[in-house]
Structure 1
Amino acid sequence: MKSICIYCGSNPGRGAVYAGAARELARELVNRDLKLVYGGASVGIMGLIADTVLELGGQAVGVIPEALVRKEVAHANLTELFVTQSMHERKTLMSELSDGFIAMPGGIGTLEEIFEVWTWAQLGFHGKPCGLLNVDGYFDSLIAFLDNAVAEQFVQQPHRDMLIVDAVADTLLDRFASYEAPTIVKWIEKGER
């Protein structure tokens, strides 16, 4: 792996624990010589993780749509900044530039991004690891929901297992390094719609 896409909030969140987790993840990326790929903003957790990576001598690549350059305040000091025409183009480019995907605590956009790229993995479009950095139990309710989706037979267990969850950046990245995509892909039985 050479680069990791981090999905995270353009807001800082309520507690200092989120900033601490962003700094720790940034340190782990730099220590492992992994390039950061992220949404390109200079604010919130997004800005903090990029700033920390850069301060530690790492590389930070931002991808931001033109419509959000002012709204999310595009980061001016990145290793590279790509400005796209649309959100779809942004997400596609982030996927192409990355060897794995981690969602930190964030809002609706963060969830949408990790769910989309995880869906692509489920469909066999890529074999890259997807994960949640479960800072201070932030994703506990989501994890319970996903486990219930398995119990209710809307998600197959191998697909649920594709989403790696850990509370510690170091351990999560270790699990990414040893990840092997399952051979099972999403299928629909005849007659299902």
Structure 2
Amino acid sequence: MTLTPEKTICVFCGSSFGNDPKFAKHAKELGSKIALKNWGLVYGGGTTGLMGSVAKSCSEKNGYVHGIIPNALVSRERIDPEKLNQSLKNDIDNHNGWTPISDEYGKSTIVPDMHTRKRLMGEEADAFIALPGGYGTLEEIMEVITWSQLGIHSKPIIFFNIDGFYDDLLIFLQKSIKSGFISEKNGEIIVVGNSTDEVLEKIENYKIPEGRYNLNWENLGTSNGKK
């Protein structure tokens, strides 16, 4: 029986596995430890790649899992997620963007578009973690970073820097700070963890940075996940 979670963590990550088995290993460990802490998981709803790894491992430990997926990405064919995942491990070109959904990966909510998906994930989340991924992962985590900078929310944002995956991005962000495009204070919105335990500890001990914009979003008709 799944317990009501004490907090819900939004995880952004790839719908593919990448070419290093460490990525899936850490994704599974993260999902399991989220459940063991009686935290919940909200994610992009896929059953493939790292998305599927983190969701299934959390669900297998009786953790709360909520996948939110746009209608266009849901496979209309009867595809075994395990067979598709095995295929993806060998060849990323087999991934056409569609994904099957399954109760083994938690409950699913199908939404009409990407904007609705991100809004609902942001509203449910108490913190955000970025595992390795591609364009979509980067776009999603950068948006919630921007929301924090603008004062839309004050939730922890953690990069899970598995085997230095995000090193080059972090160098770019430091360059943006040195070049005067991001303030030193706003650079503290992002926290980095190099192991599952460190990532979860960073969430628990996250300190809201000073210097973020103090804007009033209450009259816009949407909170974008403000809390």
Shared fold by TM > 0.5?
yes
- Aligned residues of 1:100 and 1:176 also touching (Cα < 8 A): yes
- Aligned residues of 2:185 and 2:210 also touching (Cα < 8 A): no
Q: Deviations over 1:49-90 (max 9, x none)?
A: 111111122121100011111243142214321111110110
Gaps of 5+ in 2: 1-5, 76-96, 215-227
Q: Deviations over 1:27-53 (max 9, x none)?
A: 220121110110000101101111111
Aligned AA (1:44): G
CA distance in 1, matches of 2:98, 2:64: 20
Counterpart of 1:51? 56
Aligned AA (1:76): S
- Aligned residues of 2:41 and 2:58 also touching (Cα < 8 A): yes
Counterpart of 1:190? none
Aligned positions of 1:1-193 closer than 5 A: 2-70=7-75, 71-77=97-103, 78-186=105-213
CA distance in 2, matches of 1:167, 1:155: 23
CA distance in 2, matches of 1:167, 1:121: 22
Q: TM-score, normalised by structure 2?
A: 0.79
Structure number with greater Rg is 2
SS in 2 for 1:41: coil
- Aligned residues of 1:129 and 1:179 also touching (Cα < 8 A): yes
The verdict on how the C-alpha distance between 1:74 and 1:128 changes in structure 2, with shifts beyond 3 A counting, is farther
SS in 1 for 2:99: coil
SS in 1 for 2:185: helix
- What is the identity percentage for the equivalent residue pairs of Structure 1 and Structure 2? 38
Aligned AA (1:93): L
- Aligned residues of 1:133 and 1:167 also touching (Cα < 8 A): yes
1:136, distance to aligned residue in structure 2 (A): 0.6
Gaps of 5+ in 1: 188-193
SS in 1 for 2:51: helix
CA distance in 1, matches of 2:20, 2:126: 30
Aligned AA (1:18): F
Aligned length: 187
Q: Which runs of 4+ in 1 moved over 3 A?
A: none
Note the aligned Cα RMSD (angstroms).
1.3
